[in-house]
Chains A and B, each alone.
Chain A
Amino acid sequence: MNPVQASKGAAIDLESISKAYGGFKALDGVSLRIEPGEFMTLLGPSGSGKTTTLNVIAGFTDVTSGKLLVGEKSVVGVPAHKRNIGVVFQHYALFPHMSVGRNVAYPLTLRGIDQATRQARVARALDMVKMGDFAHRYPSELSGGQQQRVALARAIVFDPPLLLMDEPLGALDKKLREWLQLEIKRIHRELGTTFVYVTHDQEEALVLSDRIAVFNRGRIEQVGTGRQLYDEPATLFVGRFIGDSTVLRGQARSDGNSTALSIAGETVTAPRRLAGEASPVMLLRPEKLSLCRPGQNAANGANRLSGTIAEAIYLGSESKYEVKLADGSGAIVRSALTGESFGLGDKVELCFDGTDAKLLADDSTADTTLT
């Protein structure tokens, strides 16, 4: 609780954390190191364990096994109210019987801070979230976005070395969400504390985070920067969860240093092979694919697959096409408006460079968890 030390961020180490509810494993051996001052997002679909992880760090949930260090000190068994960690909840959790000012002053009162200091720090925290004029209002008189900003002020006013946020923008509309994302980013920069942010929205994760930990079924699938996760997904689940993607499945044949997939009579190859026995699939990002009329020369790549335009969506700066391939699966292609445009039902060929295809082990559960 030393404010001087607290003004810097704390590191967090999760080591093989498991949490079981009866037979259900909410967390199954989660290990993660979060650096001091880092903005780490825990991303995943609902029930994937990201909120449990947050609750474990906050001290709201006991672990079944594993080690948890905050600021290099073990906090297993330390009750939530002694951890000195700020938490922002999706449902705001402002005390309805206290004014905004008293809500924000609450953690300071608990820490026995004198009135003058308290007032100054409350004012500073409220100014930081641009709610300085609202100290005398009651939570019920505020909009959702305003309430969440007050909740944020309350969570940072006692200078915790670590701030946890559990889908803080989940209940707000899109415009407000996007604006508050930028606000949160700014506050993170100004405070320099460690932020751990839980969301199921991959775009939000990409906007905010230094690094993202992707959760699935109680485990971490991959940890990395947004670019790493997008460009080099470690698993099919990560590849599909982050950004748009096209997955090609087919009869696989690997020889030497390349892999060939035969899809409804057509064959595509990538100059790599998958280690191990798992059957490989190819994952392609929309911008790595291009479309051309049958027989026409493609702009990129030696691989060609024939298909039909199933959906054409105009997005302003670009167009997005959904192509139905011969085997019935779909592909998503993005193309700049300067290129040729296609209409519904047009026969097309889908072209890509084999080096752009990510070879990943097939995982049928990736589809079920995502839908």
Chain B
Amino acid sequence: MSASDPIAQPAADARPGRAWRPFALTAPAIILLIAVIGYPLLTIVLRSLSEPEWGLQNYAWFFGAPVNLTVLQRTFTISAWVTLVCVIAAYPYAYLMTAVGPRVRLVLVLCVLIPFWVSGVVRTLSWVILLQDSGVINSLLRSAGFSGVKLIRTQTGVVIGMAQVLLPFMILPLYSVMQGIDLRLMRAAQSLGARPSRAFFTVYLPLSLPGVYAGAIIVFILSLGFYITPALLGGPRSTMLSTLVQTQVLSLLQWGRGGAMGVVLLVTTFVLLALAAPVMRSRHREAGRR
């Protein structure tokens, strides 16, 4: 049968003389990529090492100043909180998406997609309106007789706003993994004597973990580099690394120091990605197996 014939492969492979063609097709994108991403990043790395003079002084300055380390630590803390909030909120939501009929699912999907598509700046603006001292939440609290709470320019406010913006990045991968889980496995577990809750923790949860990992990694990495939401919702005590980079470059014209911070942020991101890569790959294998 020709399907198993080693030969029944598409025509293009059979023309060794044309092997360069696919590379030619990717060339324009690659060239633009090198010019608009590769070269600028290289510039930043070089500036961090060469301004005002060659050496590691900018990195020494960054890791030597407690205030920078505080911001670095805060960046990680806020990202971790955002990730945690996203996991907790996304898990039941994604599960419900798999469990309901097509009509309700459409509504649930729209609830995720519409904010996802509405301009990020507008969504942050909404949070400013909601969280500010004269905002929706405080005026509701006050009219109910409570005293107002400080939300804007606090870490809590930043986490609430960022988590809302990033939630779709958590829900969508979770949903795609959960969709592939064979629910008959739960029935099998129950037929073997597991209570529903036990069946959930021993069967469903482990099977859904690849989705949690994937979503968590995406959310965490995106959080690290967040700029707009902390800039608008945060105050001096919730500054994140991105804001610091911007201040060094635009306000203080310290390209070397700003560059060094940028490189730290960049390296951190790629290290995390590299660490996550095996998990992501096994997730693909998992998905392929069903």
Give per-residue flags for A44-86: 1 if the beta carbon is below 8 A from chain B beta carbons, else 0.
Answer: 0011010110010001111000000000000000001000000
A103 to chain B, nearest CB (A): 19
Interface string of B1-34 (1 = CB under 8 A from A): 1111111101100111000000000000000000
Q: With A and B bound together, what is the CA distance between A203 and B186 in angstroms? A: 49
Q: Nearest Cβ in chain A — how far from B10, in angstroms?
A: 8
Q: How far is the CA of A61 from the CA of B16 in the complex (A)?
A: 10
Task: Check B5–A47 contact: CB distance below 8 A.
Answer: yes
The answer to whether B14 touches A47, judged by C-beta atoms less than 8 angstroms apart, is no
Contact A46 B11, beta carbon cutoff 8 Å: no
**Considering only CB atoms, which chain A residue lies closest to B1 in the complex?**
A46
When distances are taken between beta carbons in the complex, the residues of chain B under 8 Å from A60 are 10-11, 14
Instruction: Check B2–A46 contact: CB distance below 8 A.
Output: yes
The residue of chain A having its C-beta at the shortest distance from the C-beta of B2 within the complex is A51
Beta-carbon contacts under 8 Å, A127-172 to B: 166-167, 170
In contact, A62 and B5 (Cβ under 8 angstroms): no
Per the bound structure, the CA–CA distance linking A60 and B9 in Å amounts to: 9
Contacts of A62 in B (CB 8 A): 14-16
Q: How many residues of chain B have a CB within 8 Å of chain A? A: 13
Interface centre among B1, B2, B10 (most CB of A within 10 A): B2
Residue A319, interface by CB 8 Å: no
Write the nearest CB–CB distance from A92 to chain B, whole angstroms: 13
Bound together, the chains give a CA A21 to CA B8 distance in angstroms of 12
**Size of A's binding interface in residues, CB under 8 A:** 21
CB–CB B2/A24 < 8 A: no
| Least CB separation from A91: chain B residue | B3
A200 at the interface (CB under 8 A from B): yes
CB distance from B9 to the nearest CB of A (A): 9
Cβ of A46 and Cβ of B4 under 8 Å apart? yes
Shortest distance from the beta carbon of B6 to any chain A beta carbon, whole Å: 7
Given known contacts A60-B14, A61-B14, A62-B15, A198 and B7 CB-to-CB distance under 8 angstroms: no
C-alpha gap A190/B6 in the complex (Å):
35
Residues of B within 8 A of A167 (CB): 1-2
Say yes or no: is A90 at the interface (Cβ < 8 Å to chain B).
Answer: yes
| Alpha-carbon distance A52/B15, docked complex (angstroms) | 14
Q: How far is the CA of A261 from the CA of B2 in the complex (A)?
A: 39
Interface residues of A, Cβ cutoff 8 Å to B = 19, 21, 24, 26, 46-47, 49, 51-52, 55, 59-62, 80, 90, 166-167, 170, 198, 200
A51-B5, A61-B14, A166-B2 given; name 12 further pairs at CB < 8 Å: A19-B7, A24-B6, A46-B2, A47-B5, A49-B7, A51-B2, A51-B8, A52-B7, A62-B15, A90-B3, A167-B2, A170-B2
29 CB contacts below 8 A, A to B, read A19-B7, A21-B7, A24-B6, A26-B6, A26-B7, A46-B1, A46-B2, A46-B4, A46-B5, A47-B5, A47-B6, A51-B2, A51-B7, A52-B5, A52-B7, A55-B7, A55-B14, A59-B11, A60-B10, A60-B11, A60-B14, A61-B11, A62-B14, A62-B15, A90-B1, A90-B2, A167-B2, A170-B1, A200-B1
| B residues in contact (CB < 8 Å) with A | 1-8, 10-11, 14-16
